[in-house]
Amino acid sequence: MRLVRRAFAAGFVLATTIGSASAIDIQEVTSPGGIHAWLVSDDTVPLVAMDFAFAGAGAAQDPTGKAGRANLLSTMLDEGAADLDSVAFQTALRDDAVRLSFEPSRDHFYGNVSVISSNLDRGMDLLAMALTEPRFDEEAISRMRASITANLRREQNDPDTIASHLWSATAFPNHPYGTPSNGTLESVAGLGSDDLAAAHSAGFAKDNLVVAVVGDVDAATLGPMLDRAFGDLPDAADLTPVADVEPAVGATAVEALETPQTAIRFGGPGLARDDPDFIPAYVMNHILGGGSFSSWLFEEVREKRGLAYSVYSYVAPFDHSAIFGGGTATRNDRAEEAVAVILEQIGRMASEGPTEEELGEAKAYLTGSYALRFGSSSSTARQLLAIQLDDLGIGYIDERNDLVEAVTLDDVRRSAARILGEGKPTFALVGPPAG
């Protein structure tokens, strides 16, 4: 086990070899059984990190009244499989130095396995058991359900979580994106083994599987390993269609909660990832609110007026929508002022845009910091997976900074007008009742 600890502790050393995005050599690997993966092979450290996703199998697949189903499923896949109950399966993971985790997003169901290369066979076997033969024992379900319920109860008094849920429900009424991904106390209480089995059988298949691997394994070895891990999955997923939707604009939702600060969330329509204006919008958002200490919102909301400790904005493309959003928290008696300042800066960006100097600084930061996304084997695998899910192509890592550098002031102003000039964002505020 001492070797294992040293190997995992050295995981960052591996990143120094692959930390330059432009130096990464990505191989496309196809297993004998036809499973595809992207591989960055590096034997600097005896570790292998595999990130994978079942596209479209995320929380948006939760049926009406069963919110939180994908989340509960993610907690159950390492709680026993095949002939190993929860204790036996966790013991096997520990003894064989295999790290296994799962997590759903709105759109996708993610998994990760990290293992020392000498235990790769065993790691793939345990992963295969978790994916194809989960047990869903009642004792483990009750335990995981209780843990999720405890978190949900804590979130009932967290203004930031409440504001985020309120914004989503207001922006996406009667749509899966408007439902809490982790579920509600009522919906989670009603989830059982049949629900988990249904989600598992419908969402996990070869045709919606996306895989990225980084570390001490070559293409010839990885091919059979992919079949070992994923070969017994069904050929095709059975996903429920999800409607495309645009977030509502111009609405304001307020929820009363006795708290020292008012939590604020705002947002409206964004741009799809394949929209030609997405990269300009990404650069624009860095200037407006994504650049932390250098952004307009930080300068106007925090530095000049002291309204908040932090304020931010973001652009987020989903499979069935796209968002420009953001948030902050401020003293209750200054919430109205904070909203007004945010709207003022959004309006200024939509009508005027940044200066040439601001654009240059944003591009310099965004291109210079890109390599930090490849700071470890695990983070590199996540980036490769995201590029595949967004269908950006195997050459995107080499092209990305050139795309950012090519953005002009006209591009930024055009994208800002498209996102920010089409109506007031929807706001959600959580704080003490008025009066």
Nearest to 380 by CA among 20, 4, 10, 9: 20
Confidence of residue 11 (pLDDT cuts 50, 70, 90): very low
Is residue 224 predicted with pLDDT exceeding 70?
A: yes
**Mean pLDDT over residues 365-371, rounded?**
97
Sorting pLDDT into bands at 50, 70 and 90, what band is 20?
low
pLDDT tens, position by position, 105-136: 999 999 999 999 999 999 999 999 999 999 99
Does pLDDT of 266 surpass 70?
Answer: yes
Q: Pick from 173, 175, 233: which is nearest to 208 by CA?
A: 233
pLDDT at 39 over 60: yes
- Which of the two residues, 11 and 342, has the higher pLDDT score? 342
Q: What is the pLDDT of residue 22?
A: 59
Helix axes 278-285, 396-405, angle to 10 degrees: 60
Q: What is the pLDDT of residues 233-244, one digit of tens each?
A: 999 999 999 999
What local confidence, expressed as pLDDT, does residue 291 receive?
78
Task: Please say whether the beta carbons of 318 and 106 come within 8 A.
Answer: yes
Mean pLDDT of 266-278: 98
Domains of the chain: 2-230 (3.30.830.10), 252-431 (3.30.830.10)
Whether 21 shows a pLDDT value over 50: the answer reads yes
The mean pLDDT value of the chain amounts to: 94
pLDDT category, 16, cuts 50, 70, 90? very low
Residue with tokens 């490769």: 384
- Indicate whether 4 pLDDT > 60: no
Q: What is the mean pLDDT of residues 340-361?
A: 97
Residue 7 has pLDDT above 90, yes or no: no
422: confidence class by pLDDT, cuts 50, 70, 90 = confident
In the structure encoding, which two tokens stand for residue 297, read together? 């919102």
Q: What percent of the chain has pLDDT over 70?
A: 94
What are the tens digits of pLDDT across the range 145-175? 999 999 999 999 999 999 999 999 999 999 9
Cα–Cα distance for residue pair 119/156, rounded to 1 Å? 43
pLDDT at 359 over 90: yes
pLDDT (average), residues 265-293: 96
pLDDT at residue 15, as a whole number: 36
Q: Residues 352-371: what's their mean pLDDT?
A: 97
Instruction: Give the rounded percent of residues in the chain with a pLDDT score beyond 90.
Output: 92
